[in-house]
Amino acid sequence: METLAVGIVGAGWMGHVHARAYQRLAQHWPDLAVRPEVVAVADSSAAAAETFARAHGATTPVRSFPDWRDLLADPDVAAVSVTAPNFLHRELGVAVAEAGKHLWIEKPVGLTAADAGAVRDAVHANGVVACVGFNYRHVPAVARARAIVASGQIGVPTHARVQLLTDYAAHPGSPLSWRYAVETGGHGALGDLASHGVDLLRFVLGDVVGVVARTAVHIPQRPIADTAGHYAVLDVTEPGLAFGEVENEDYVVAILRMANGTLGVCEADRAAVGEQNSYGLEVHGTRGLVRWDFRRPGELQVSAGDHYSGQPTSTVFSEPGDGEYAAFQPGAGIAMGYDDTKVVEARNFVRAISGEPVELATLDDAVASAAVLDAMVASHDTGGWVDL
Ligand SMILES: NC(=O)c1ccc[n+]([C@@H]2O[C@H](COP(=O)([O-])OP(=O)(O)OC[C@H]3O[C@@H](n4cnc5c(N)ncnc54)[C@H](O)[C@@H]3O)[C@@H](O)[C@H]2O)c1
């Protein structure tokens, strides 16, 4: 078995998730031709890099670099995960491709569709393999929903809804991290949440051709603090705490027109009190519906048949044959988790590097999703439909 030496840039939440995913690959697919090994990490925070090296260096020592350029200069490193904040995606993604290394990059791939396009162009120019962190595609129930829609079981799709409501930014003491500034985060709830929603709609129903949208900021000022991570909270009664302006949206609601004629609604909120990662997708058709809830990931609500009115909806459980479920569990109805979606993503990445045929979430998908997000902002500004 060949070893693929991997470096991780950005040792926050996603950096750890990618590292765990690489490490678990051979446990789920023991016959893989290529086995990834995390050998290096780069993070501007020495503490984050040190924690990462301790967490993931038990069997192979992890070399640690404060500057990601030194990681890219390491000739051993053949593939790189970009799990740093959004404002670094463009520079990093282009540099990884130009260094001739394969690239697994987190969504939304930069601040705008132009940023995602620059990374895509560098990947194509340098002939490296690249995939994007649209991991909800890899939930077996989502794969089954896609197959159900494609098979015509629910008839002709008429309309769809995707929602991503959560509360990591709902607390007024949630600090003004890189996510809330245009220069470092780009879009707000759009890039963080709606990017996944648009990708799910595209994955199940195809391209988006037009949008109309409104965005809103629920908490216009947040306390200033040097923190990373989604979930930090500061004591806003602390004397002397300084506050700064939130520059991007907490909330977006949009109507989308799909190329196949389906209408869609996308709603995303990062500051929704009472909602914790309440994500979901539903597709309605002329003969039925299919509905998925992220927090019940192994279940799908399906209504199909020829009753029309009064047609029942039943719960079906993921089972071997749905996406990559069989690599995790032997029988139906045994729950899989968030990290498992990243294990599947890592597997697709590594298979593509080995030259095996596999459907990846590509940089073309990242550009398409980002173009829809940019169009949502343009629609908010103009008040009208924006065609893509
Ligand atoms: N696919 C998903 O479901 C998902 C979920 C969460 C985050 N993400 C994406 O992953 C990326 C990281 O998000 P996160 O939640 O892990 O963020 P985070 O804030 O937890 O971690 C980011 C890390 O990057 C480091 N960093 C900052 N500047 C750096 C630099 N110049 N060089 C190297 N490291 C640097 C920070 O010190 C921090 O350790 C974002 O682009 C985000 O959109 C994707």
Query: Any bridge partners for residue 64, and if so which?
Result: 41
For residues 9 and 41, what is the distance between their CA atoms, to the nearest angstrom? 6
State which H helix or E strand residue 254 sits in: strand 251-258
Ligand 1 atom with least separation from CA of 10:
24
Q: What is the pLDDT of residues 202-224, one digit of tens each?
A: 999 999 999 999 999 999 999 99
Asked if 110 and 130 count as a contact pair (C-beta separation under 8 A), the reply is no
Domain annotation for the chain: domains and CATH numbers: 2-134 (3.40.50.720), 136-335+360-387 (3.30.360.10)
Per-residue pLDDT, 228: 60
Q: Which two tokens stand for residue 22?
A: 């690489």
Using the mean position of ligand 1's atoms as its centre, give its distance from the Cα of residue 13 in Å.
7
Q: Which two tokens stand for residue 256?
A: 């989308």
Per-residue pLDDT, 58: 85
Per-residue pLDDT, 12: 95
Distances (CA, A) of 317 to 49, 270, 337: 39, 29, 14
List pocket residues of ligand 1, CB cut-off 6 Å.
9-14, 42-45, 48, 68, 83-86, 88, 106-107, 133, 135, 192, 228-230
Per-residue pLDDT, 235: 85
Per-residue pLDDT, 238: 84
Ligand 1 atom with least separation from CA of 133:
1
Per-residue pLDDT, 180: 94
Using the mean position of ligand 1's atoms as its centre, give its distance from the Cα of residue 226 in Å.
14
Taking the alpha carbons of 219, 222, 228, 233 in that order, is the dihedral positive or negative?
A: negative
Taking the alpha carbons of 183, 187, 192, 198 in that order, is the dihedral positive or negative?
A: negative
Q: 227-245: buried (b, 16+ CB within 10 Å) or exposed (e) per residue?
A: ebeeeeebeeeeeeeeeee
Question: Which stretches of the chain drop beneath a pLDDT of 50?
Answer: none
Q: Which two tokens stand for residue 324?
A: 């990559």
For residues 109 and 107, what is the distance between their CA atoms, to the nearest angstrom? 5
Per-residue pLDDT, 388: 97
Per-residue pLDDT, 320: 98
Per-residue pLDDT, 102: 98
